[in-house]
A and B are shown apart, each in its own frame.
Chain A
Amino acid sequence: MSIIAESVRLTGPTLRALILERLGQIKCGRYAVISIPGLWLAVFFFIPFLVVFKISLAETAIAIPPYTSLFEFDLEEALLEISINLGNYRYLFEDDFYLAAYLNSAKIAAISTFFTLLIGFPMAYLIARSHGTTRTLLLSLVILPFWTSFLLRVYAWMGILQKNGIVNDFLMSIGLIDTPLTILQTDIAVYIGIVYTYLPFMVLPLYTALEKLDGALLEAAQDLGCKPAQTFFLITLPLSLPGVVAGCLLVFIPAVGEFVIPALLGGSDTLMIGRVLWDEFFLSRDWPMASAVATVMLIVLVLPIMLIRNNAEKQGEAA
């Protein structure tokens, strides 16, 4: 009764003012909520990136730190000198070595992502279709490898793939091959390493997408005469597409910059941008050049991916 009375009294301009005030509060609250992850991104992503970008505009120097500073301020003459060196970027485009490294990294990451998807999809499908304790068990099996150090797991692969390792021993004992295969220190070993390491990052988003899939849709498709393969391509795959995109990005992006796996499993001729970065930083002691390589990697590889994703999200909303 009193509420109605109140609402009756609150008419005209008073009510509008109150609503606007409320909306303002909601907005403030929303900003407060967004600002925390925003701040986190700024502190741990944007500022470090600016630092890297700043170093990429400097020149190497024999000093601590081993590069020149961009700003020289002369207090007496109140003179601020800014020296920006774009030479690193020019060199980056002049020497086709870097282009080859970027392209090869992208190629290795793309092939690995494809195989991760190929293996990860049935796994995620199985988990999403199972129930109760089986599902919990399968999910924990996917996460279980994280309990061991990533480095140790890659080292274990060295033992498995080497000349007198488990794979070769097994293939020779069943008489499939006579001489041991050279797998370690080839690109194939790098693919195996990346697919193995990043598989959980593919399975989990796929599982989330497939779990939401309405079983009734599949039944309906069958009732209407769809063959299983048709059902898969017409219903399951399109509906799990967000999971596929998320999984592929989670695998592709870190795989491009991967350093440990190609360093341990790859051969000396496996050219990847992560190793180029290491060489620039540690062997050439050229921090500015290394920073330029990192900056360009971010812009060339990550920006288009973010745009694609944005686009996909917008399309998703429109649909």
Chain B
Amino acid sequence: MPITKNRLGAALALSVSVTSGAALADESKVLNIYNWSDYIAPEAIEAFSEKTGIEVNYDVYDSNEVLEAKLMSGGTGYDLVVPAGAFLERHVQADIYLEVDQSRLSNYDNLDQVMLEKVARYDAGNEHSVPYAWGTIGLGYNVDQVRERLGDTPVDSLDLVFNPDVAAKLADCGIAMLDSPAEVVSMALNYLGLDPNSEKKGDLKKAEAMLQSVRPHIKYFSSSKYISDLANGEICLAVGYNGDVLQAQGRAEEAGQGVNVGYSIPSEGTLVWFDVMAIPADAPHPDAAHKFIDFVLQGDTAAGISNYVYYAVPNVAAMPLLDEEVSSNPGIYPSEDVKAKLFTQNAHTPKFDRILNRSWSNTKTGR
């Protein structure tokens, strides 16, 4: 189990840094990173260690919720974490991150200004965070099975999952949906022509009614299972993250069982998300963390990551260095028209979160 090993590594590294104490305070040789699973090019970490002599303890998680629960308990020992925007917003409110010293990031100008402005919605002035990657939530589908059932109906519409008449036709081959209340409800509100960030009870009721109407046609709710199920044909439609669907596409090709996976961004507009790098307030090695952020901002490092994980990086210098198949894939780097229709999901108040989650539980259990 790599995770356990890494945890142990992090713990050992921590104890070392404690014993060697203040003498090494400004020149730390260890960096504890906590990032999403499968979210970096392995070469990047090696190259960083080689260049700086800093030993990296790399630990992974698979949901924002798990990251948040750890951070909110405090004393994690991590120097760098990668939360998503709406979570960042709440974390900044809770004051759990250090301010990022931009003057120490020589490659900061490589960042896409438009993306920086969008992330500033979560973190005013980009003071506590540096964008890492971004992507969309869209439709992953089994090309042949969907065509067989829907004919020439366009597949770039949320009608496929949110219109009960259309969804009913796909129910037999399996529809999966992200188990992420804030994101899915936000998309549902947008589909109904309402404000995707609305906190009105009436709006939520409408979204719930719509979701309940398609619930009988949905096979399951999960934020990770759909990757393998799309790849092996167990399901034919998933509301999922773009990079995950593209991963499924890759796996299906490798398996060679004749499963064709496609990804489309809904024409109604969809949710765009950002993951950012941030330094916990109690990070033992903030200097090393700054060095790592600067390293990731290098054009070649960022391009390497994008080529490997199939997510877009908000880095201007990386663009010319991207593989053709990545840069020309509209599922990863969408066109400007599509970009214009993307919307963000903001953090909710705890009170709304509670009724949102209750509504979501009711939808899932069909109550």
Contact B73 A64 (CB under 8 A): yes
Q: Which stretch in A189-197, A198-206, A251-259, A276-284 binds the other chain? A: A276-284
Contact B72 A269 (CB under 8 A): no
A276 CA to B366 CA, complexed, in Å: 15
CB < 8 Å neighbour of B361 from A60, A65, A279, A281: A279
Closest chain-A Cβ to B182's Cβ sits at a distance in Å of 9
Contact B364 A269 (CB under 8 A): yes
> A210 to chain B: which residues have CB within 8 Å?
none
Closest to A185 in B: B220
19 contacting pairs across A/B (C-beta < 8 A): A62-B93, A63-B94, A64-B71, A64-B73, A64-B74, A66-B94, A97-B361, A268-B179, A268-B218, A268-B220, A268-B364, A271-B365, A276-B361, A279-B361, A280-B357, A283-B181, A283-B360, A284-B357, A285-B69
> A271 to chain B: which residues have CB within 8 Å?
361, 365, 367
1/0 contact string of B87-99 vs chain A (CB within 8 Å): 0001001111000
Interface hub of B68, B74, B234, B365 (most chain A Cβ within 10 A)? B365
> A279 to chain B: which residues have CB within 8 Å?
357, 361
> A286 to chain B: which residues have CB within 8 Å?
350, 353-354
A282 CA to B71 CA, complexed, in Å: 12
State the majority secondary structure of interface residues on A: loop
> A267 to chain B: which residues have CB within 8 Å?
220
Interface hub of B66, B179, B358 (most chain A Cβ within 10 A)? B358
Contact B362 A163 (CB under 8 A): no
Closest chain-B Cβ to A260's Cβ sits at a distance in Å of 15
Other than A60-B350, A270-B365, give 11 A-B pairs with Cβ distance below 8 A.
A65-B73, A66-B94, A95-B358, A268-B179, A268-B221, A269-B364, A269-B365, A269-B366, A282-B66, A284-B350, A284-B357
> A269 to chain B: which residues have CB within 8 Å?
364-366
> A270 to chain B: which residues have CB within 8 Å?
365
A97-B362 contact given A62-B94, A64-B74, A286-B354, CB 8 Å threshold: yes
Interface check B219, CB cutoff 8 A: yes
8 Å CB interface, A59-79 against B: 60, 62-66
Interface check A100, CB cutoff 8 A: yes
8 Å CB interface, A265-319 against B: 267-271, 276, 279-286, 289
A97 CA to B357 CA, complexed, in Å: 12
Interface check B63, CB cutoff 8 A: yes
- What is the size, in residues, of chain A's interface with B at 8 Å between Cβ atoms? 27
Q: Which residues of A contact B (CB under 8 A)?
A: 60, 62-66, 95, 97, 100, 162-163, 185, 267-271, 276, 279-286, 289
A49 CA to B350 CA, complexed, in Å: 25
Q: How many A-B residue pairs have CB under 8 A?
A: 72
A64-B94 contact given A185-B220, A286-B350, A286-B354, CB 8 Å threshold: yes
CB < 8 Å neighbour of A64 from B63, B72, B364: B72
A276 CA to B360 CA, complexed, in Å: 12
A279 CA to B353 CA, complexed, in Å: 11
Contact A285 B220 (CB under 8 A): no
CB < 8 Å neighbour of B353 from A97, A100, A185, A285: A285
Interface hub of B72, B73, B74 (most chain A Cβ within 10 A)? B72
Closest to B349 in A: A62
8 Å CB interface, B319-367 against A: 350, 353-354, 357-358, 360-362, 364-367
A162 CA to B174 CA, complexed, in Å: 13
Contact A284 B93 (CB under 8 A): no
A62 CA to B86 CA, complexed, in Å: 13
Contact B68 A285 (CB under 8 A): yes
Closest chain-A Cβ to B97's Cβ sits at a distance in Å of 11
Interface check B65, CB cutoff 8 A: yes
Contact B72 A282 (CB under 8 A): no
Closest chain-A Cβ to B110's Cβ sits at a distance in Å of 32
Closest to B94 in A: A62
A65-B358 contact given A60-B350, A163-B234, A269-B364, CB 8 Å threshold: no
Closest chain-A Cβ to B76's Cβ sits at a distance in Å of 10
Closest to B363 in A: A268
A163 CA to B232 CA, complexed, in Å: 11
A62 CA to B66 CA, complexed, in Å: 16
A286 CA to B353 CA, complexed, in Å: 9
A268 CA to B175 CA, complexed, in Å: 13
> B90 to chain A: which residues have CB within 8 Å?
62
Contact B69 A100 (CB under 8 A): no
Closest chain-B Cβ to A166's Cβ sits at a distance in Å of 16
1/0 contact string of B56-71 vs chain A (CB within 8 Å): 0000000101101101
Closest to A278 in B: B65
Contact B234 A66 (CB under 8 A): no
> A60 to chain B: which residues have CB within 8 Å?
350
Closest to B176 in A: A268
Closest to B354 in A: A284
A284 CA to B357 CA, complexed, in Å: 6
Contact B357 A283 (CB under 8 A): yes
> A64 to chain B: which residues have CB within 8 Å?
71-74, 94, 96
> B65 to chain A: which residues have CB within 8 Å?
282-283, 285
> A268 to chain B: which residues have CB within 8 Å?
179, 218, 220-222, 364-365
> B220 to chain A: which residues have CB within 8 Å?
185, 267-268
A97-B93 contact given A64-B72, A269-B364, CB 8 Å threshold: no
A282-B94 contact given A97-B361, A268-B221, A271-B365, CB 8 Å threshold: no
1/0 contact string of B213-234 vs chain A (CB within 8 Å): 0000011111000000000001
A281-B219 contact given A64-B94, A95-B358, CB 8 Å threshold: no
Closest chain-A Cβ to B191's Cβ sits at a distance in Å of 20
A100-B354 contact given A267-B220, A282-B65, A283-B181, CB 8 Å threshold: no
> B367 to chain A: which residues have CB within 8 Å?
97, 100, 271
